[in-house]
Structures are given as C-alpha cells and as structure tokens.
Structure 1
Amino acid sequence: MSLVVYLAALLLALSAILLFRRPRAALRNPLTASTCAAVSMSALCFICSAPVTLAAVNRLTGIPNFGAPLTYSMISAYSCSLIILLIQWRGGPSELVRRSTRMAITVFGLLIAAIIVLFTLADARTERLNDLDTYYANTPYMREMIVLYLVGHGVCIVVMSAVCLKWMREVTGPLRTGLRLILIGLLLDVAGFEIAKITAVVARWLGHDLDYLSTSVAPPVVSLGALFCSVGFTLPRLLPSAIVHWQSLNDYRRLTPLWTEVQWAATAPKPSPSWWELPYARLQWLEVSIHDALLALAPLFDDRVRRISLATALDEGNTPGQAHVIAEAAMLADAARQAAAPVGRRFEEPSTYRLHATGSVVTTELVELAQALGQSPVVAAARRGSVIASHD
C-alpha cells in the first residue's frame, strides 16, 4: 500500500511544483497560493498515511500509533485547504472572503485540537499500521477520534460538492472541465474513503469484520480521487499557459523560412529565457529579430518586383490577399539576394514601402509572410533574380 500512496503523493507534488514555479508571484496571488497549499497538503496526507511513514513516525517519537493523529490532523488540514481554495476560487467581496476563510480555519483548527486531545486520552498501546481505524473502533476516545475525523472530512466533501455543482452551471471552458474533474474525485473520495471507512467501522461496532474495505479498498480509490481533484484544481490554472506555449512553439516553427531568409541581417541581441518560458520567450525574441532584419532590408525593396509578382500571383489564381502577401515575400527575397551580393544594388531614392507584417502586432502576418517565402514559385523566381530580368 505504501507504494500506491507514495506514487499518488509524487504526482501531487509535481502538480504543486508546476503551480509554484514562480514563488514570489504565487505568494502574491491568493488563488495560486491556495491551490498550491491544497495540492501540497494532499501530497502530505498520502505521505503521512503510508505504513512505512507511520512506522517511522512512531519509532522516532517513541509513541505507539502517534502517526494516527498526525495523519488525521493532516486530513483535516487538507479538508480546510480545499474549503479555503473554493472560497478563493469563487471570489466575491474581499471582506466576505476573509471572514469565510477565518471561519474555515477556526472550525478545522478546533477539529484538529479535538483529535489530538482524544488521542491523548485514549489507550492505544498496540501499534497498528494498516487497520488502526477498525482495530480501535470500539476503544474509548479512539472511537470518537476516528468518527470525528471522518465526519469532518465528510462535511468538507458535501460542501465542496454543493459549491461545485452550483458553480458548474455558471461557467464554461477549462474552469467547467476542472469542476467536473473535482466532482469525479469527490465521488471517488465518498465511495472509496468515507463509505468504505464508515462501513468497516460500523461493522466492527456490530461485531462483524469488514476490515478489507478500510485496508484494501480505501487507499487506492482515495488516491485516484485525490488525483482527479488535484488535476481539476490545477487544470484551469495551467491549461491557458500551456496553450500559449504550444501556440508559441507552433508559430516559432512556422516562422523558420522567414528567419532563414533574413537572419544574417538581424542585429538584435539574443536573450537567455528561463526554461519555464522557453517557447513564448523564444517566439518573442524571434519576432523582434525578424522585425529588426526587415527594417535593415527595407532600403533595398524594389517596387517593380512587388508589382510584377503581384500581377503574376493574381494570374496564377491566388486571392487578392494571398497575392499581396506573395508579392511582399518576393520583394523581400529579392532584397535579401541584393544585400547578400558582393556589390549590392543601390537605389538613388530608397523605397519607402513598408511590409504589412512590420506594422502588425500579431504573429499571424509574419507567419503568412514566412509561408509564402517557403512555398510560392513566384518568390522562388525573385530569389533567383529572374523577376525583373524576365520583364526587361
């Protein structure tokens, strides 16, 4: 069982690291901080509940079953973090958010204090690493402690389910998907943890043995449920950024023909983007460098090449918009060829024409120019220098 819960803890810890990749920004954002705290608390719950961890804690403290109140306190703290996260996620007036947060901390703080007091009063000298809930189900004070932490976690699940169901009808997109994943996780939590644990404990009260529900069924199911909840909480936070990076990576690749054509003319310094911002930062640097190179080549633009290429592109059946982009790409290719020549062409009056892409703030215009450079036969002719020659 330790392997299952440690694996769940590892996956949850990775989620927390992704969310906490910028510590200063995360701490300034209550929603991000709350999400990191909830996911981290979930990971700690699994670490503390593993039999290997329980045995180590008991051995280090010298108190049999000391890992039990520690784990139950962690579960209660995790429940509190989920409630606080939902409060922050839901938003509203700042005073209401603060008051609700303080109330949640107070209630679950009292619950944790009660768990510790009840364990102190109980007689639990026999160490139980896997079946403590059922073994001590009829022991005074231990019985109350077990019921208390199960009720506290159950209340958390009911509140979260009600809020998620109500909120899900009001939102769309990644946030709604995240809420659905959270509800799936809560359902697994109810079935695999609450119902299984309570059934096993009640069976002990009635003189029956259904310990396997607590020892074998609950751990893997609740691990899966926690993973669903964590993905549901992190998805709306990470998905928009992931989409931006993926689009940036795609645009970076599509700009390769344009960069290959003009890179030698660029003078913009190359930065050192952090690993986390690599796709987006690289795209920004590439766009700046391309614009720099286009400005450097602008004095060599030949309007004749553009006009002839525009007519040729229209004759080939391209739309006016496509023909315009092809004509500009052909003029750019011709300017690059002239600039790279041993004795470049010099105009008495340099062209004042500016490419449409240099006046746009979106990447789409540069991408269209790059695609024309890499695909159009009209541009290939300009690159060979045959556009003007064929019309002289």
Structure 2
Amino acid sequence: MSLVVYLAAGLFGLSAVVLFRRPRTAVRNPLTVSTCVSIVLGSVVFVCSAPITLAAVNGLTGIPNFGAPLTYGMLSAYSCSLLILLIQWRGGPGERVRRMVLRSIAAYGPLVVAIIVLFALGDAHTERLTDLDTYYANTPYLREMILLYLVGHSAATLAMCAVCVKWSREVTGLLRAGLRLILAGLLLDVVGFQLTKYTAVVARWSGHDLDVLSTTVAPPMASLGALLCSAGFVLPRLLPPALAHARGLRDYRRLGPLWSRVRFVSTAPKPPSTWWQLPQERLHWREVSIHDALLGLAPYFDDRVRERALADARSAGRTPHEARIAAEAAMLADAARRAAAREEPPGAPSGYRLHATEVSGTDGLVELAQALVRPPAEITVREGTVRTSHG
C-alpha cells in the first residue's frame, strides 16, 4: 500500500512543479498559489498515510500512533485548501473571495485542533499502521476523532460536488471538462473512500468485522480520486499553454526551410542556448531573425523573377493567393542566391512587400517556408530561365 500512496504523492508533486515552474510569476497569481498549495497538501496526506511513514513518525516522536492525528489534520487542511482553490478558481469580487476563504479557514482550523485534542485525550497505546480507524472505532475520544475527520472531509467533498455540478452548467470547453474530472474524482472519493470507511467503522460499532473495506479498498480509491481531482484542476491551466507550445514547436520546425535559406543574412543577436527554452520562445527568436534577414535581402528582390513565377503558378491552376506565395518564394530563393554569391543587386530596387511582412504572427512566414519546399528542379528551372534572360 505504501507504494500506491507514494506514487500518488509523486504524481501530485510533479503537477505542482509544472504549475510553479516560474516562481516569480506564480507567486503573484492567487489561483496558481492555491492550486500548488492544494496539490502539495494532497501529496503530504498521501505520504503521511503510508504505513512506512506512519511507523517512522511514531518512532521519531516516541508516541504510538502519532501519525494518525498528523494524517487526519493534514487531510482536513487539504479539504479546506480544495474549497479555497475552488473559490479562487471561480473568482468574483475580491472582498467576497477573501470573506469565503476566511470562512473556510475558520471552519477547518478548529477541526484540526479538535482532532489533536481528541487524540491526546484518547487511549491509543497499541500501534496500528493500517487499521487504526476500525481498531479504535469503539475507543472513547478516538472514536470521536475518527468520526470528526471523516465528517469534515465529507462536508468539503459534498460542498465541492454541489458547486461543480452547478458551475459546470454555466461554463463550456476546458473549464467544463476540468469540472467534470473534479466531480468524477470527488464521487470516487465519496464512494470508494468515505463510504467504505463509514461502513467499516459502523460495522465495528455493531460488532462486525469489515476492516477490509477500510484497509484494502479505501486507500487506492482515495489515491485515484485525488489524482482525478488534480487532473481536473490542472487541465484547464496547463492544456492551453501546452497546445500553444505544441503549435510553436510545429511552426518552429516548419520555418526550417526558410531559415536555412536566409540565416546567413540575419544580424539578430542570438539568445543564450538553453535546453529548457520553451518552443514559443524559440519560435519568437526565429521569427524575429527571419524578418531581419528578409529586410537584408530586400535589395536583391527581382520583380522579373516574381512576375515570371507568378505567371507560371497561375497557368498551373493555383489560386491567386497560392500563386502569390509561390512567386514570392521564387523571388526570395533568387535573392538569397545572389546575396550568397555576393552578386550585385538588380538595377532598380523592387519595393515589393512580401505577404509574410504584411500579416501578424507566423502564418505568413510558414506559408513562405512551405512554398520553398518544392522539387528543386522547379526552382532551378525558374532561376535558370531568369539568368538566361539576363544574359
């Protein structure tokens, strides 16, 4: 069981690291801070609940079962943090958000204190690493402590379920998908963890033994439910930038043919090369460098090359836009060849503006780059025809 909860804690922690990858920016965003705090507390709960950790805590403190109130207190703090996270996620007037956050803390702060006090008053001298809830289900004070932490966790879970159901009717897209994942995780926690715990404890009250529900079924169900909740909170935050970076990496690679043609002209300073540089940052640098190179090649643009290529593209049945891009690619290829060979620019400056320099973003550059990826013979024939006409 320790392996299962440690794995859940590790996955929890990994998502927090991803969200908090830029600390200076993250600490200024209450939503990011709340998300990371909740994930970290969830990881701590899993680590604390592992039998190996419980044994270590009990041994270090010299108090049998001291790991129990530690775990239950952390679970209550985690429940509170989930409510705060949901409050921050939904947003609203700042004063209202602060008031609801303070109410959540006011409700769960005394709950944590009560758990510790009840443990101190109870008699828990026999160490139990996996079945404490059922073993001490009939012990005064400890019985109340167990029931209190379960009720506190159930209250937070049911409140979140109600909010998720209501809110999911009002939103769409990734936010709705995230809320549904959270709701699935909460329902799994309710059925797989809380209900089995309540059933096992009540069975002990009535003289029956259903400890297997508490010791074998509940822990993995709690881990799976928490992971689903974590995915629900993280998905709307990480998926959009992840998709943006994926598009950035795709466009960065698609600009390769254009960059290989003009890179010798660019004078843009190259940023420090770091392995963790994000795709969008690499794309931005390549975009700036290509524009700088196009500016340097402008004196070599030959309208005759472009017009001949434009006529060929139109006769081949291309649309006006496709023909324009193909003609610009041919003119650019000719200009790059002239500049690389240190030839003199054509007589009169062209003054022609490429489509890629008239539109924002990288779409125009990508179109130009892809137009350069043609059978070499096609460009060679066009360039050779122009050179012949020059001769």
TM range (shorter): over 0.9
For residues 248-298 of structure 1, the C-alpha deviation after alignment (integer angstroms, 9 at most, x for no partner) is 000011111111111111111111266554211110010011111110000
Distance 1:162 1:169 in 2: 11
**Alignment correspondent of 1:169:** 169
SS in 2 for 1:63: coil
Does the Cα contact within 8 Å between 1:8 and 1:227 map onto a contact in 2?
Answer: yes
Output aligned runs, 1:146-157, within 5 Å: 146-157=146-157
AA aligned to 2:384 is: G
After superposition, residues 235-384 of structure 1 pair within 5 angstroms as: 235-272=235-272, 275-341=275-341, 343-375=342-374, 380-381=379-380, 384=383
How far apart are residue 377 of structure 1 and its match? 6.5
**Equivalent AA in structure 1 for residue 332 of structure 2:** L
| C-alpha contact (below 8 Å) 1:309/1:387 kept by paired residues | no
5 Å matches for 1:30-45?
30-45=30-45
Asked whether 1:229 is paired with 2:215, we answer no
Letter in 2 for 1:26: A
- Residues 22 and 213 (structure 1 numbering): CA distance in 2 closer, same or farther, change over 3 Å? same
Distance across 2 between alignment mates of 1:31 and 1:379: 55
What are the ranges of 5 or more consecutive residues in structure 2 without an aligned counterpart? none
Whether the 8 Å CA contact 2:245–2:279 is kept in 1: the answer is yes
| Counterpart for residue 388 of structure 2 | 389
Contact kept, 8 Å, 2:309 with 2:382, in 1: the verdict is: no
What is the Cα deviation at residue 174 of structure 1? 1.1
Partner AA of 1:132 in structure 2:
L
- Given that 1:326 and 1:376 are in contact with CA atoms closer than 8 Å, whether structure 2 keeps it comes out as no
Aligned letter for 2:214? S
- The residue that corresponds to 1:65 in the other structure is 65
Residue pair 1:333, 1:383 contacting (<8 A) in 2 also: no
Residues 276 and 225 of structure 1: CA distance in aligned 2, closer, same or farther (over 3 Å) = farther
Write the letter of the residue equivalent to 2:96. L
Q: Whole-Å Cα distance in 1 between the matches of residues 385 and 31 of structure 2?
A: 61
Structure 1 residue identity aligned to 2:67: G
Alignment match, 1:101: 101
1:15-164 equivalences under 5 Å are: 15-164=15-164
The separation in 2 between residues aligned to 1:378 and 1:328, in whole angstroms, is 17
Q: Which runs of 4+ in 1 moved over 4 A?
A: 273-277, 376-379
Paired position in structure 1 for 2:188: 188
Match of 2:157, SS state, is helix
Instruction: Report the alpha carbon displacement of residue 361 of structure 1 after superposing the two structures with TM.
Output: 1.7
Q: Which stretch shifts more, 273-282 or 222-231?
A: 273-282
CA distance in 2, matches of 1:225, 1:275: 35
Question: Residues 171-192 of structure 1: CA distance to partner in whole angstroms, max 9, x if unpaired?
Answer: 1111111111101100110111
What is the deviation of 1:349?
2.7
Secondary structure, in 3 states, of the residue corresponding to 1:119? helix
Decide whether the 8 Å contact of 1:305 with 1:382 is kept in 2: no
The structure-2 alpha-carbon separation of the partners of 1:4 and 1:259, relative to structure 1 and needing over 3 Å to count, comes to same
- The 3 A distance-change label for structure 1 pair 383 and 129 is farther
Quote the Cα distance in structure 2 between the aligned partners of 1:278 and 1:3: 33
User: Where does structure 1 lack aligned partners over 5 or more consecutive residues?
Assistant: none
**Displacement of 1:352:** 1.4
SS state at 1:375 partner? coil
| AA at the equivalent of 1:171 | V
User: Aligned pairs, how many?
Assistant: 391
Once the two structures are overlaid, the 10-residue window that deviates more, 257-266 or 355-364, is 355-364
Shift of residue 350, structure 1, vs aligned partner: 2.1
Letter of the structure 2 residue corresponding to residue 158 of structure 1: L
Hey, what's the Cα distance between the residues in 2 that align with 1:308 and 1:18?
52
Root mean square deviation, CA, Å:
1.5
